[in-house]
Amino acid sequence: MVFRSLAATCMAATVVLLSGCQGTATRPGSGDMLQRGTLTESGGQYWFESCLGEERIPVSQLPEAISQAHARQSLGDDWPVYVEAFGRHRDGALVLSQGLLVGGGTHACNFGLEGVELRAVSEDENAIFDLTQNQIRVRFANSFLQLAFARPEVERLGAVRRWEQTMPAGGQKRDHRLVLEVMPTPCNGLRGEWHGLSMAARLNGRVFSGCARLGDVENWPLRQRYRTPDSVTTRRIELAMTAGGEVQWREDYLNNQPLLEFDGRWHRRSADQVRVVLDNGLQDETSVLEFNVARDGSLKLRGFHPAYGRNLAFQPAAPLLRIDSGELDWWR
């Protein structure tokens, strides 16, 4: 079977090329969220500084795989190493339960993989497989060849997620054929970065193995929909956001009058700031709102706004905005 041959290839590559592989860490709890930031060690204590620019906090617990990967890449005390992991804040400290990526520096906070649900890269970094909402895109660093397969239904084979698809090859006799498999097996990349996922692929008879990572972290930790807290009794506002940058704003003054409804656009000004521009017909300062983003995705108005004062805040009312088809569900 193709699945068995690909899995065997990946495991062989893991044993020979990807030293440091370990078993699966503690499964994240239901309240754990994706954490992005830098991990440092100072005097035996680990510290975490979020990509959202918050003050660094102590880490009270982390998987051995993360601590070992950090030790391989750190150049000494207080050296920051980029980390993506599941975890939660508890008693003023961070508890990390499952690592996804360890490698890079503070600049990695600006690398978001927008529109890519998962990226798998061959061990020589030549072949890149991007899983998007509708396609599996394949490109090669050393050639102009690019392929875009229609995204098929996933096959769940134990811990392996498998996608298989064919597409016409133009004037050639044989169709292009792709099999892509991703599994929660730790993997070290070409530059020593540690990944919580491994990949194996076969494209037109060529076999690839390497590492994979979750994508679309550009939109983390924003949510699909927001609303004002229940404690606000003078008005109720709902804010819906799409990954494509669209906004829907619905405002109810709770006085049996028609709702105020506006479309608009939003964009990320920085990791911890979002700007919303409403098409309210005025095109003045009242159409622009800027928010700080908290680690739970909640929004707090920055500065003073002529219509909303200083205290406008939104609570998450829907799942994460990032692409999440439900197929990459090892940690649910």
Residue 323 lies in a domain: no
pLDDT of residue 282: 74
User: Would 19 be classed as within a structural domain?
Assistant: no
- Write down which residue in 109, 130, 161 finishes a domain: 109
Residue 85, domain member (yes or no): yes
In a domain, 8, yes or no: yes
**Same-domain check for residues 228 and 263:** yes
Same domain as 89, residue 134: no
**296 CB-near residues (< 8 Å, 6+ apart):** 33, 221, 316
Residue 252 lies in a domain: yes
What is the phi/psi pair of residue 307, to 5°? Answer: -95, -20
76 is a domain residue: yes
Q: What CATH number does the domain containing 39 carry?
A: 2.40.50.140
Query: Same domain, yes or no, for 171 and 231?
Result: no
Residue 27 predicted with pLDDT over 70: no
CATH number, domain at 269?
A: 2.40.128
Read off the amino acid at residue 154: V
Domain assignment of residue 261, given as a range: 224-316
The residue to which tokens 């991990």 are assigned: 39
Domains contained in the chain, number: 3
Query: Residue 144, SS3?
Result: coil
For residues 81 and 74, is the Cβ–Cβ distance under 8 A? yes
Is 10 in the same domain as 127? yes
pLDDT, averaged across the chain: 88
The answer on pLDDT for 16 being more than 60 is: no
pLDDT value at 17 more than 50: no
Residue 291 vs residue 243, higher pLDDT: 291
Residues 7 and 133 both lie in one domain: yes
Does the residue 52 lie in any domain?
yes
CA distances from residue 140 to 123, 151, 203, 331 in whole angstroms, order as listed: 13, 19, 12, 30
Element (H, E) at 14: helix 2-17
